[in-house]
Amino acid sequence: MRAAPSSALRAPSPPRGEGRFGAFLALALLLAWGPALAQEPAAPPDRPLASPGQEARAQAIFEVVRCVVCQHESIADSPAGIAGDMRRLIREEIASGASDQAVKDDLVRRYGDYVLFTPPVRTGTWLLWFGPALLALIGGLALFVFARRKAVETALLSPDEERRLADLLQRETVRPDPDASAPHDGR
Amino acid sequence: MAARGRRIDGTACAEPGPVIVEFGAFALILALMLSVLQTGLAATGRWRRSPLLAGGAEGAAMGAALATALAFGALIFAFAASDFSVANVANNSHTDKPMLYKVAAAWGSHEGSLVLWCLVMTGFGAALTRARGLPFGLKASAIGVQGGLGALFLAFAVFTSNPFARIDPAPFQGMSLNPLLQDPALAIHPPLLYAGYVGFSVTFSLAVAALIEGKAFSGFWPAWGRWVRPWALASWVFLTAGITLGAFWAYYELGWGGWWFWDPVENASFMPWLAGTALLHSAVVTERRGALAGWTVFLALLAFTFSMLGAFLVRSGVLTSVHAFAVDPERGLMLLGILGFTAGSAFALFAWRAPQLKGGGLFAPVSREGALVLNNLFLTVAAVTVLLGTLYPLILEAATGATISVGPPYFALTFTPLMAVAFLILPAGPLLAWKRGDLKGAMQRLALAAALAIACGFVGWLAFEPRKAFAAAGLAVGAWLILGALAEVVERVRLFRAPLAEVGRRARGLPLGAWGMTLAHAGLGLFVLGAVVETGFKVEAAAPLAIGGEVHAGRWVVTLDKVEIVEGPNYLAERGTLTVASTDGRAVPSTVTAERRFFPAGGQTTTEVGLDFRGLDDVYVVMGERRSTPEAAQAWTVRVYYNPWARLIFLGPFVMALGGVLSLFDRRLRLAVGGKRRPLPSPPGGEGGSRSETDEGAVSARSEVGM
């Protein structure tokens, strides 16, 4: 994916021996070092559930659960230790027969609404959930009313504008609109 | 600026470096003063109707752009030379970094990116002075407003975010740039994105100028629509390319297999894009028919307001995001002040003058205008949805203390259905005539495209495992957009209905803008196809692998061949070499490398994804950390994603941007920016050639140039 930086552009590297030592040191750090974003021990590797159906349900939940120490990452994506813990917890609950909703409810009890990427529908979030539909409705209604009222407004044009409009309409019928599609383009 | 001037001792000043940095700081202050001068001269020139003063404002605009460019050049020099006596360089660079990322670090920090912002703004301001055909008053006002915007942001840079501030004593080594940002895509992503964001400052200035000038002469609004379109289009192209590049960066650098997370910072760039897209369409109506003038002005103001809001959200740290790299709450407050002042005064002016913006051509609800109005309704509601989803958690927490998260599921339930409906009606729009369209005729001409699209959906339903009705519907919508766009071209060139020579003549006669629109709409369809298939059918698998171990993902099997330690210029990496083969053995196996890089300078680790391009599909391999398993002493967690049709997700927007570029070269739009052609026939008393219809100049010009 990445174009290898040409060596000519590289900054001068330290003397060879020092570089080796640095490499060794960094390697030691690399081996001891945990996940990228959270400064905490690495999560033990994920063990998928035996049943593919249950595992798929778990994965679907991971996608909508926020890693509570990360910046806008779901626990499906996050390498942080706590995300691993949360994944394990969810898998355990699903394996013990809890429904998806019960798992989510349990998460909300532990971590609050913040933990789900789906905000709850309650008094404080009505505007969030129904605002877009409301705006679309109002906008649509306004357009409808506007379209109906246009006919009335024509009568309110000044004589000058009337003349110009008539002139324009006249011209447009004489020379058809070139941007109209086939039946109108008159060639 | 605190420590500046301390290095007076001869040795330090003997080398050119320090002087150049001081020179850069000076150039930035000069740019600020020139911008203030630009506003003052333009305002006085406009008031006294003095071409001399207005010309002086244009000169000042040129000077401001030049001075900002010099300042930016000096900053890049400081980074290239690793001058750690400059605080900004010490905080964001490192001698071991490759040169490309040393240079890119110049806009990787808050201070540097602000200088880039100012550079784009003054650069567009300078370009605005070259715009031809603008009437005197409008041009002087627009240049004045642009100068004012430039002055605000330059003052912000000079007084609160001086990128040239010195530290004493200078450290021997810098703290390096976040390794996530050390990537070619991200090196060019911010400049493109900023060109888009800030390009809308010109539409903003032209809108404010139009509000100041009022309805200066009859036929003003069609002409104004034409003047504003190229700027809106250019900004839109930059923004489209910038967002796509950012999504691509997130896709292969973050190593999560995803490309859009509805992350607040992504939303911050998406809102101006939506407003800008609405503006593009509404400006067409204003240009061709003189209608919707008020609404177009509103959108022109809104697009840049969203740009500034985005800058505030990203820079202030009020958001938690994977993209927030340079944040500072105090400066955020200053940005909020700038945003409140500029947007507030512009919208107040709008509220005052808008009632006067009546008139324009009349049209029936079913017409090209009607379709574009509907487009605007959908895009505006979409932009508001994204705005709500981004700001609501902040507002709710401030108001009630309750914390919520708004993520992908919310947008899947609000934004996606909205767009789906919009996409269903989109192909009909271009087939409707202006003023009064023939809906039945348009539907007849689209019948074949609709039938084929439904067939595509059905084939997709059969072809992809597991069968998903939603994904099949999405496939049909994507195909519908592409086929609908093609149907429109077929209709216009009379393919299959006229002799081939006639078809060729018509195809050549089509304005570039028409081809641009077709490309943009088809590109949107490509994107929809890619997004639907990738989201619906991607397969993810992960397993701890020892050397020789394999993991299956869909029809692919990935084998870990070897792992070696590699020393990069400023990092160490564990590089895994893996073989990607298909389970049925039909595809040719290929080798990919994936890395896990450790950057000692900042103590951070990044993943370098291995991408195996398989036609439209990606096999995406991530090396995880080393661990020991019961079976093997050494194993690496390898995650594999099979992302079908992922190529289209990035190809689609690229095609859209290409369509925008094509439209920019349309003769009708070229007229407005620095072209050598004759000026528009429409300015007051302008020469309309032999035509007498000067007051509807834009309309008549269209007829001449048209087909």
Q: Is pLDDT above 90 for B115?
A: yes
Distance from CA of A146 to the nearest CA of B (A): 10
Alpha-carbon Rg for chain A in angstroms: 32
Residues A90-117 as b or e (16 or more Cβ within 10 Å = b): bbebbeeeeeeeebbeebeeebebbbbb
pLDDT surpasses 80 at A185: no
Give the pLDDT confidence of B639-687 residue by residue, as tens digits.
899 999 999 999 999 999 999 999 998 877 664 454 444 444 443 333 3
Query: Residue B155: what residue type?
Result: A
Residue B693 in contact with partner chain A when CB distance is under 8 A: yes
ipTM: 0.79
The widest CA-to-CA distance across chain B, in whole angstroms, is 89
| Contact state of B569 with A71 under an 8 Å Cβ cutoff | no
Instruction: Decide if A119 touches B, using CB distance below 8 A.
Output: yes
Under a CB-based contact definition with an 8 Å cutoff, are residues B172 and B84 in contact?
yes
| Two structure tokens written together for B602 | 């900042």
Q: Which of B196, B422, B376, B368 is nearest to B277 (CA)?
A: B376
- How distant is the Cα of B166 from the closest Cα of chain A, in angstroms? 23
Predicted confidence (pLDDT) per residue in B491-511, tens digit: 888 888 778 888 888 888 888
**What distance, in Å, lies between the first and last C-alpha atoms of chain A?**
52
What pLDDT does residue B36 have? 96
> Is B698 strand, coil or helix?
helix
Confidence of residue A44 (pLDDT cuts 50, 70, 90): low
In this structure, chain B runs to a length of 707
Going by C-alpha positions, the residue among B217, B203, B216 that lies closest to residue B346 is: B203
- Residue B492's closest CA among B445, B444, B437? B445
A vs B: CB pairs below 8 A: 212
What would the mean pLDDT of B193-219 be, rounded to a whole number? 87
> At residue B415, does pLDDT exceed 90?
yes
Residue B360 DSSP label: -
Cβ within 8 Å, pair A128-B388: yes
Identity of the residue in B434, B494, B565 whose CB atom sits nearest the CB atom of A180: B434
The identity of residue B597, as a single letter, is R
Q: Give residue A147's pLDDT.
A: 74
Residues composing chain A: 187
Q: Which residue has the tokens 């640095």?
A: A22
Mean pLDDT across B303-311: 92
Sign of CA dihedral B76, B77, B80, B84: negative
At the top level of CATH, which class does the domain A52-115 belong to?
mainly alpha
Report yes or no: B53 at the A interface, CB cutoff 8 Å: no
Indicate the residue type of A98.
A
pLDDT at B98: 84
A19 interfacial to chain B (CB closer than 8 Å): yes
* Mean pLDDT across chain B: 84
Q: SS3 of B365, please?
A: coil
Predicted local confidence at residue B636, as pLDDT? 87
d(CA B519, CA B527): 12
Q: Are A35 and A43 in contact (CB under 8 A)?
A: yes
Tell whether B707 lies on the interface with A, counting CB pairs under 8 A: yes
Give the contacts of B466 (CB within 8 A, at least 6 positions apart).
Answer: none
H/E stretch holding B593 reads strand B590-599
Q: Which residue of A has its CA nearest to B495?
A: A182
CB-based contact B96 A36, cutoff 8 Å: no
Give ∠ CA A161-A165-A171 in degrees, rounded to 5. Answer: 145
Say if CB B509 and CB B459 are below 8 A apart. no
A142 to chain B: closest CA residue: B377
| CB spacing of A185 vs B707 below 8 angstroms | yes
Subunit contact B362:A66, Cβ cutoff 8 A = no
Model confidence at A24: pLDDT above 60: no
User: What is the amino acid identity at position B601?
Assistant: A
Q: Which residues contact A121 (CB under 8 A, 6 or more apart)?
A: A129
The pLDDT confidence band at residue B432, using thresholds 50, 70 and 90, is: confident
Do the chains contact at B258 and A185, CB–CB below 8 Å? Answer: no
Q: What does the alpha-carbon distance between residue A145 and residue A139 come to, in Å, rounded to a whole number?
A: 10
